[in-house]
Each structure stands twice: as structure tokens, then as C-alpha cells.
């Protein structure tokens, strides 16, 4: 029989004709047991003030939430209101809860990222930066190298789990591609000529931030000319354009993608430097230009351009490989997003989750000034 006050009353009931003293004597020890059990239960649900959530017994503390919160707030921007801050922290906490659930599943399925995988990803992330730049960025986000590697292990493990449990189950059939094309033909009608362009950029000045793999930066006109000559010599010898762009291009926005600018419509070229348009229009697919100097608002730069492909106006047919790949990628992304959401919902249903911060927000009607506060790190000098 479950021990409750109601059951105690039924146990005591047959003694109702006994003397009051005997009844009290019989009831008190049992009552003491009830209160002791209740106190024990309450003790189990207590938590430290800095514990903001529990996932299957694992604590998620305020410190961890604040750490990720700092990465999403611009310290130089307007300070968020108490409500905005708490809303953002609840979002961060919910993500951490989901990540913890998925990480546990990854461990159970022996899909946790290995030390080698973590080190490889760490090296990849660090490679575009000098050591000073890398340490400054960590400091700006109040993170250590250990923090970053821990986060990388979590992300890689979750990705391995989702690849195994979700992505591997996705199939795109030829009929799926045909149906999408028939329903979205307007998307494949090119209104004007387009040029798929890649670039390598060299500037005759020291850049504040360099994102190429070799951290290579020409500091003056003489160095820039020597660098351009080296690049042209290597290109003429058959070197891969995208690899050279990743190694040497001084444009921080495109170096990481091999200098790829995507498809540029002719109308956009008409608004650029006339010399640039003349060069691009005169290139054949796969051809690399001679160096050309331009002078945009941020200062002179030397460009080496490659025309990857040229598209003429008109409707693209479903038989074209690029059209099929575009449709395949679109459908795969849609299905993956749907299955990820469904998988997470099922995983969350099977987990024991307590969101203490959410409970506190409700109890305090949103007035939690202490929880809303986060000390932001000072920006590094020269950042």
C-alpha cells in the first residue's frame, strides 16, 4: 500500500472506538514517517542556485549558459533589456538541453567524436588565424582552448549521431526531382546572362585581418607585385585556382571558399568597373584573367579572376546536371530539417528534463534582474 495521509486515515479508522490517547499514539509515528518521506523527496528536488536545468540527472549551470550567451550579444551594441536577455538565455538553455540529450544518445551508440577528430577540427578552425589573433578571439568570447575543444567534441558527436540516425535515411528519387522541377520551373528560367566567377585578391597594404590558410599578406606595393607574379607563375604551371585562393587571397570573405563569388548577373557587372566587366565578358569558361588593378572605396587591390561557368538567358532543362544537383540539394535539406526536428522531439520525450530557469521566470513573472545580468568580457586592444 502506498504511504499517504489518506491511507493513514483509513489505517487509523478501525481504532476510532479506542481511547483518544491510543489513537494519537498510533497515528503519530506513521505521520512522522510521512513527513520524513516528504522531506526526503523535497531534498532530492532541491538544487544549487547556479543550476539552471537538469537532463537525466546531469546539471546545466548558469556559467555555461552565460558563456554561450556572450557569443550572441554584441558588447559594443545597445544593452538588451531584462526581457530580451532572459529570452535569449532561455533559448540558449533550450539548445544546451537538446545538445545534452543528443550527446547522451551519441555516447550510447558509440558515436562520440574521437580525440583525433577533435584535433583535426581544432586545427582547421585555427589555421586561418595567427596565434595572437586566435588567442584574442578566444579571450573576446571568454573561452579557453579546452572550452573550444569540448564544444567541438560535442558538435562533432551530435553531427555523427544525426548523420547515422537521420541523414542516412534520406533518399531522393528521380521522380522527386522531376516533380519539383515541374512545380518550380520559374526558378530555372535565367532572365539575363550570368557569370560564375572566382577571384584572388592581393592588396599593397597590411590588412587588419587575413583569413587565408598561410596567413600571407603583402604589406606594400613591391610585395604585392612579387606576390602577384608568383601566383601567375603557379597558375600558368597548372596550380589549382581555388587552392591558391585559399592559401594566398587577401579577401577575408572569399578566401575560405576558394575565392568563389557565385553567379554574378550581367546587370551587376554593368554597375562595376568597366574594365572588370570587359575582362569577365571576354573570358571563356575555365579561363583565368591577367592581373587587373581596381580602386574601390577601401583602397587599391589587384584581382586575378577565373570564369568558372557562363549561363545564357532561358529555361534550364531538367537534364542539366547543375539543375538536378540544385534540386537534389534543396530536397535533401528540406527532408533533413524535418527528420532532425522529429528525431529531436522523440529523443526529448524519452529524457527527464527540468528547466529551473523557466520555472523561476514564470514564478517571478519575468522579473529576474540577477539572472538577466551577464558580465561581458572587455574587447581586446586592436580588435
Residues 272 and 299 in one domain: yes
Confidence of residue 76 (pLDDT cuts 50, 70, 90): low
Task: Give the domain-ending residue among 267, 294, 312.
Answer: 312
pLDDT over 50 at 21, yes or no = no
Give pLDDT, residue 221: 93
In three-state secondary structure terms, 368 is coil
319 and 183 together in one domain = yes
Q: Do 305 and 280 belong to one domain?
A: yes
Same domain, 65 and 180: yes
157 and 81 within one domain: yes
Domain that holds residue 13: 5-45
CA distance 332 to 323: 14
**At 264, which CATH number?**
3.10.50.40
**Separation between Cα atoms, residue 278 and residue 307, nearest integer Å:** 12
265 and 280, same domain (yes or no): yes
pLDDT for the residue 18: 40
Last residue of a domain, one of 284, 312, 340: 312
Alpha helices in 145-204 (DSSP H): 145-165, 174-183
* Residue 189 clears pLDDT 80, i.e. is over it: yes
Domain containing 128 — which CATH number? 1.10.4030.10
Mean pLDDT across the stretch 82-107?
95
301-347 pLDDT, tens per residue? 999 999 999 999 999 999 999 899 999 999 999 999 999 999 999 99
Query: Is 124's pLDDT higher than 80?
Result: yes
Q: In this predicted model, what pLDDT tens digit does every residue of 48-69 receive, in sequence order?
A: 999 999 999 999 999 999 988 8
Domain-embedded: residue 283: yes
304 bridge partner residues: 200
Q: What does the alpha-carbon distance between residue 311 and residue 316 come to, in Å, rounded to a whole number?
A: 9
- What are residue 55's DSSP bridge partners? 58, 353
Instruction: Kindly give, in sequence order, each residue whose CB lies less than 8 Å from that of residue 130, ignoring residues fewer than 6 positions away.
Output: 210, 215
Q: How far apart are CA 276 and CA 301, in angstroms?
A: 12
Q: Is this prediction's pTM over 0.75? A: no
User: In the prediction, which pLDDT does 177 show?
Assistant: 97
- What's the structural domain count of the chain? 3
Indicate whether 230 and 324 sit together in one domain: no
The reported pLDDT for the residue numbered 2 is 37
| 50 in any annotated domain | no
Q: Residue 28: its pLDDT value, please?
A: 37
Q: Which residue has the higher pLDDT, 76 or 240?
A: 240
Residue 210 and residue 90 share a domain: no
pLDDT digit string, tens, across residues 242-263: 999 999 999 989 998 999 999 9
pLDDT of 216 strictly over 90: no
Mark which of 312, 340, 366 sits at the end of a domain: 312
What per-residue confidence (pLDDT) applies to 368?
87
Question: Alpha-carbon distance 47 to 81, whole Å?
Answer: 27
CB within 8 Å of 288: residues ≥ 6 apart: 235, 241, 304, 305, 306
Task: Give residue 195's pLDDT.
Answer: 96
Q: Are residues 59 and 184 in the same domain?
A: yes
pLDDT at 272 (0 to 100): 87
In a domain, 208, yes or no: yes
Question: What is d(CA 355, CA 52) in angstroms, rounded to the nearest whole number?
Answer: 6
For the chain, give the mean pLDDT. 85
CB neighbours of residue 308 within 10 Å = 20
Band (9; pLDDT cuts 50, 70, 90): very low
Taking residue 161's Cβ as centre, other Cβ atoms within 10 Å add up to: 22
Please determine, for residue 92, whether its predicted confidence score (pLDDT) is greater than 80.
yes
Residue-level pLDDT at 15 = 38
In this structure, the answer to whether residues 359 and 373 fall within a common structural domain is yes
Better-scored residue on pLDDT, 153 or 296: 153
Q: Would you list the DSSP string of 34-53?
A: HHHHHHHHHHHH---TTEEE
Q: pLDDT category, 108, cuts 50, 70, 90?
A: very high
Whole-number pLDDT of residue 137:
81
Whether residues 182 and 324 share a domain: the answer is yes
Residue 256: CB atoms within 10 Å: 16
Q: Determine, yes or no, domain membership for 157.
A: yes
- Does 12 reside within a domain? yes
The secondary element (H helix, E strand) that includes residue 122 is helix 115-126
Q: How much is the pLDDT for 378?
A: 57
Q: Are residues 166 and 62 in the same domain?
A: yes
Residue 35 pLDDT: 38
Amino acid at each position: 500500500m502506498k504511504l499517504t495521509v489518506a491511507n493513514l486515515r483509513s489505517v487509523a479508522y478501525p481504532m476510532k472506538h479506542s481511547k483518544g490517547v491510543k489513537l494519537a499514539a498510533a497515528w503519530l509515528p506513521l505521520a512522522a514517517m510521512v513527513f520524513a518521506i516528504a522531506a526526503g523527496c523535497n531534498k532530492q528536488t532541491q538544487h544549487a542556485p547556479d543550476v539552471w536545468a537538469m537532463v537525466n540527472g546531469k546539471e546545466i549551470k548558469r556559467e555555461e549558459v552565460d558563456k554561450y550567451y556572450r557569443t550572441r550579444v554584441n558588447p559594443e551594441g545597445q544593452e538588451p533589456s531584462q526581457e530580451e536577455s532572459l529570452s535569449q538565455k532561455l533559448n540558449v538553455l533550450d539548445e544546451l538541453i537538446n545538445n545534452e540529450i543528443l550527446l547522451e544518445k551519441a555516447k550510447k551508440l558509440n558515436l562520440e567524436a574521437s580525440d583525433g577528430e577533435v584535433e583535426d577540427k581544432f586545427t582547421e578552425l585555427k589555421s586561418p588565424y595567427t596565434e595572437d589573433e586566435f588567442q584574442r578571439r578566444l579571450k573576446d568570447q571568454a573561452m579557453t582552448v579546452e572550452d573550444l575543444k569540448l564544444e567541438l567534441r560535442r558538435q562533432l558527436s551530435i553531427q555523427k549521431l544525426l548523420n547515422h540516425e537521420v541523414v542516412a535515411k534520406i533518399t531522393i528519387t528521380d521522380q522527386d526531382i522531376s516533380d519539383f522541377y515541374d512545380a518550380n520551373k520559374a526558378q530555372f528560367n535565367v532572365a539575363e546572362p550570368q557569370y560564375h566567377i572566382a577571384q584572388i585578391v592581393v592588396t599593397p597594404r597590411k590588412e587588419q585581418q587575413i583569413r587565408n590558410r598561410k596567413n600571407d599578406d603583402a604589406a606594400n606595393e613591391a610585395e604585392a607585385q612579387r606576390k602577384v607574379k608568383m601566383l601567375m607563375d603557379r597558375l600558368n604551371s597548372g596550380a589549382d585556382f581555388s587552392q591558391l585562393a585559399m592559401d594566398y587571397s587577401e579577401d577575408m570573405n572569399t578566401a575560405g571558399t576558394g575565392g568563389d563569388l557565385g553567379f554574378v548577373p550581367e546587370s551587376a557587372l554593368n554597375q562595376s568597373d568597366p574594365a572588370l566587366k570587359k575582362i569577365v565578358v571576354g573570358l571563356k569558361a575555365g579561363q583565368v584573367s591577367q592581373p587587373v588593378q581596381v580602386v574601390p572605396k577601401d583602397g587599391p587591390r589587384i584581382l586575378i579572376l577565373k570564369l568558372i561557368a557562363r549561363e545564357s538567358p532561358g529555361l534550364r532543362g531538367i537534364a542539366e546536371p547543375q539543375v538536378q544537383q540544385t534540386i537534389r540539394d534543396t530536397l535533401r535539406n528540406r527532408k533533413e530539417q524535418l527528420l532532425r526536428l522529429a528525431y529531436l522531439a522523440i529523443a526529448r520525450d524519452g529524457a527527464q528534463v527540468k528547466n529551473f530557469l523557466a520555472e523561476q521566470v514564470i514564478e517571478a513573472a519575468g522579473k529576474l534582474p540577477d539572472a538577466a545580468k551577464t558580465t561581458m568580457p572587455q574587447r581586446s586592444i586592436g580588435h
